[in-house]
């Protein structure tokens, strides 16, 4: 699902919001999560999951083209952890999706 699809779904499911208002709401939610992470805060949405930062330590990487060792600096990475209710929901019903093989599915 893309951001545009999400905005359309929010507008469809709400009888009082226009698409433009739904877009404003979705952008406000994403912006709030992004701003909290930028400040180093954790964002928790009950029943869905939490967003936090994880630190990746310094390491030596390798340039695949030349094979040369290059230093990779420490950096902060966003991390999402699914909530208990969300995980239970995903594991209680079969997925309703097309029968196309996924690149992640073992064959």
Q: Tens-of-pLDDT digits for all 107 residues of the chain?
A: 999 999 999 999 998 999 999 999 999 999 999 999 999 999 999 989 999 999 999 999 999 999 999 999 999 999 999 999 999 888 886 666 655 555 555 54
Across the chain, the runs of DSSP E, i.e. the strands, are: 43-45, 49-56, 59-62, 69-72, 75-82
Cα Rg of the chain (Å, integer): 19
How much is the pLDDT for 52?
A: 95
Classify 31 as helix, strand or coil. Answer: helix
The two three-digit tokens of residue 25, written as one number: 């709401």
Q: How far apart are CA 101 and CA 23, in angstroms?
A: 33
How much is the pLDDT for 96?
A: 65
Question: Vertex 41, ends 1 and 78: CA angle to 5°?
Answer: 40
How much is the pLDDT for 90?
A: 86
The two three-digit tokens of residue 51, written as one number: 């967003």
How much is the pLDDT for 103?
A: 59
The two three-digit tokens of residue 29, written as one number: 């939610």
Taking alpha carbons only, the member of 87, 78, 5, 65 closest to residue 37 is: 78
How much is the pLDDT for 4?
A: 94
How much is the pLDDT for 5?
A: 96
Q: Domain locations in the chain?
A: 1-41
How much is the pLDDT for 59?
A: 94
């Amino acid at each position: 699902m893309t951001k545009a699809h999400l905005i359309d779904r929010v507008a469809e499911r709400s009888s009082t919001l226009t698409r433009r208002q739904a877009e404003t709401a979705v952008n406000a939610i994403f912006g709030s999560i992004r701003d909290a992470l930028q400040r180093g805060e954790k964002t928790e949405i009950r029943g869905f999951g939490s967003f936090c930062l994880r630190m990746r330590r310094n390491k030596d990487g390798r340039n695949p083209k030349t094979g040369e060792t290059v230093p990779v600096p420490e950096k902060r990475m966003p991390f999402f952890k699914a909530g208990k209710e969300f995980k239970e929901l995903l594991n209680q019903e079969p997925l309703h999706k097309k029968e196309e093989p996924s690149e992640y599915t073992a064959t």
